[in-house]
Structure 1
Amino acid sequence: MNTPDHARLLVHGATGRMGRAVLRLAADTPGLSVVGAVSGSRPPQRVVDGVPQFSASEIGGVPAFDVAIDFSLPEGFDRVLGLCVARGAALVSGTTGLSEGQQQAIDEAAGKVPVLVAANFSLGTAVLSQLVERAARALHGWDCDIVETHHVHKKDAPSGTALVLGESAARGGAQARYASLRAGDVVGEHTVQFTGLGERLELVHRATDRDVFARGALHAARRIAGRPPGRLRLADLLG
């Protein structure tokens, strides 16, 4: 693996909640420097904290970059994916709600550049996913239930992360059942429960700060830059 000592970062979806967090935390992330920030509308300032600002319609004019972090909307995803392929740069994206056609485009792009698209960039959740698969494989025949809790404003249920954990359980041979709770301002909590005769195993992850997702995306950006083409998971970039 050829990972550069220093990677140039483009932030796409820079004015969203996650984009703002990525920009704020990137300044203190070793091995990364932000060379541009792209937002859907025309930026009121051309340079903010030393970072050049671009509108979505100007994306073709961004400086050279090694990796892009994208937290935008499905309608803006094709644009950044195409740019990364054209520039030979890696893509780390947390944009959700992508269509089947967009998923196919990701697979095609992964033949040319490294791509990571994930619903959750918590490093702890990535480890949890590995543990769930291992537990499911070892506890053959046990019941598997996934309970997820989020803030009252979250619309989708089960959460994307719960479904990913269910896929991990399935790889281990278990069939997960889901329960969703919406309460208060909970950032995110996932419990995977395996139940056998007379015993129960619970694997739990709790996120108490949304910055964990931005930190995870920055970790992924640092690790994915310089890798060969392919579609990666966050778990592939741990350690």
Structure 2
Amino acid sequence: MTYKIRIGLVGYGKTGKAVANVLSKDPRFELCWIARRTAGASVRTHPETAIPIIGMEQQSFEAIFDRYPVDAVVDFSSAEAVRLYGEIIRKHRIMLVSAISSYSESDLAYVRSLGRNTRVMCSPNITLGINFLMVAANLLRKVAPFADVEIIEQHFKEKPEVSGTALKIAENLGMESNRVTSLRIGGIIGEHEVIFGFPHQTVRLSHSSIRREAFGTGAAFALSQLQACPIGFYTFEDLLVQATNQEWSRQLNFGNDSPKRRRQPDLSRVNR
């Protein structure tokens, strides 16, 4: 019988609910509990499941972890939450997948410190598509450093700050944050585009979030990859490059009986 990864989900807003939908239906995982700021007067379990929803003001994380042991925590809440459960996951070496985009420098340093004791994946956007875009953009930037580059991000009207994902793309490409163009338009969940301008041609790498469940499939990918990693701190790009290297190696070696095999390309520095 295949062992399921037991998960606790922190955060139950619009994105958290979508993530819960994905993780609760994935046969590789067992979603054991959901923690939110308040449990609410009428909603006590996730719809159509027996997964308990627990208000953080009602029970301490110490009590939650004691009652519902888990192997991993997935956090889609706020920057403050990690301080409430951080030492528990450090002590018990519980994996952490964090998708918080608003960590302060001190909070991020704390999350990094957890990576000395357990497996931690932290990225502002954990959709598979946007991270593939980042890896591809980094590779193209290194191949063609002479190209003009612009970044455009579009989100729903209520999003006040510049996209953390767009700022991360800019940082990876060695660009100033003020080079990011932001648009706020009703009906858009999230769109990112990196435009490379070459002489006589243009390359556009774009990603659109259609449903928030994309964050759930990203969390599932991160969990499946992270469990095979040594203790440490990782970004989603690290896990994606690791998976890409594994697949590249499999493709190169499949059916190749020649004693002299082609050298595997080293993608490990693509997102550095």
Bin of the TM-score, shorter chain as denominator length: 0.7 to 0.9
Within the candidate set 158, 173, 176, 1:153 is matched to 158
- Which amino acid is 2:24 matched to? A
- Are positions 1:19 and 2:24 aligned together? no
SS at structure 1 position matched to 2:131:
helix
How many Å separate the matches in 2 of 1:186 and 1:42?
A: 29
Cα RMSD for the two superposed structures: 2.1
Following the alignment from structure 1 to structure 2, what is the Cα–Cα distance between the partners of residues 201 and 47? 47
Does residue 59 of structure 2 align to residue 55 of structure 1? Answer: no
Change (3 A) 1:151 1:78: same
Percent pairwise identity: 25
More divergent stretch after superposition (137-146 vs 43-52): 43-52
Structure 1: distance between partners of 2:103 and 2:129: 24
Identify which of 98, 108, 113 aligns with 2:118. Answer: 113
Amino acid corresponding to residue 140 of structure 1 in structure 2: P
Instruction: Write out aligned runs for 1:15-164 (5 A).
Output: 15-42=12-39, 44=41, 48=46, 49-56=49-56, 57-61=59-63, 62=65, 63-157=68-162, 159-164=163-168
Instruction: Compute the displacement of 1:127 (Å).
Output: 0.6
Q: How far is 1:53 from its partner?
A: 3.5
Structure 1 residue runs without a partner (length 5+): none
* Structure 2 counterpart of 1:40, one-letter code: R
Equivalent-residue separation in structure 1 for 2:234 and 2:3 (angstroms):
20
- Residue pair 2:119, 2:231 contacting (<8 A) in 1 also: yes
In the alignment, residue 184 of structure 1 is paired with which amino acid?
Answer: G
Summarize deviations over 1:108-147 as a string: whole Å, max 9, x none: 1111111112111110111111100111011122111001
Measure how far apart 1:81 and its partner are: 2.3
Equivalent in the alignment of 1:187: 189
More strand by share: 1
2:264 paired residue number = none
Corresponding residue for residue 169 of structure 1: 173
Higher RCO (CA 8 Å, separation ≥ 6 residues): 1
Q: Could you state the TM-score of these two structures normalised by the residue count of structure 2?
A: 0.78
Structure 1 position 42, deviation (Å): 4.6
Contact residue 10 and residue 75 of structure 2 kept, 8 A: yes
108-117 vs 218-227, which deviates more? 218-227
Amino acid at match of 2:219: A
SS at structure 2 position matched to 1:51: coil
Q: 1:30 to 1:235 in 2, by over 3 A?
A: farther
Secondary structure of the 1:106 match is: helix
> Which shows bigger deviation, 20-29 or 129-138?
20-29
Question: Distance between the aligned counterparts of 2:180 and 2:80, measured in 1?
Answer: 29
Given that 1:133 and 1:168 are in contact with CA atoms closer than 8 Å, whether structure 2 keeps it comes out as yes
Residues 102 and 164 in structure 2, CA contact (< 8 A), matched pair in contact too: no
Q: 1:196 to 1:59 in 2, by over 3 A?
A: same
1:107 positional shift: 1.7
* C-alpha distance after superposition, 1:63-90 (max 9, x if no partner): 2211100111122221132221122101
Q: 3-state DSSP class of the match of 1:167?
A: helix
TM-score by length of 1: 0.88
Gaps of 5+ in 2: 244-272
Q: State the match for 2:232 in structure 1.
A: 230
**SS of residue matched to 2:181:** strand
Work out the number of aligned pairs and report it: 231
Structure (1 or 2) with the larger CA radius of gyration: 2
Distance change in 2, residues 1:52/1:152 (3 Å)? closer
Give distance in 1, aligned partners of 2:16 and 2:36. 9
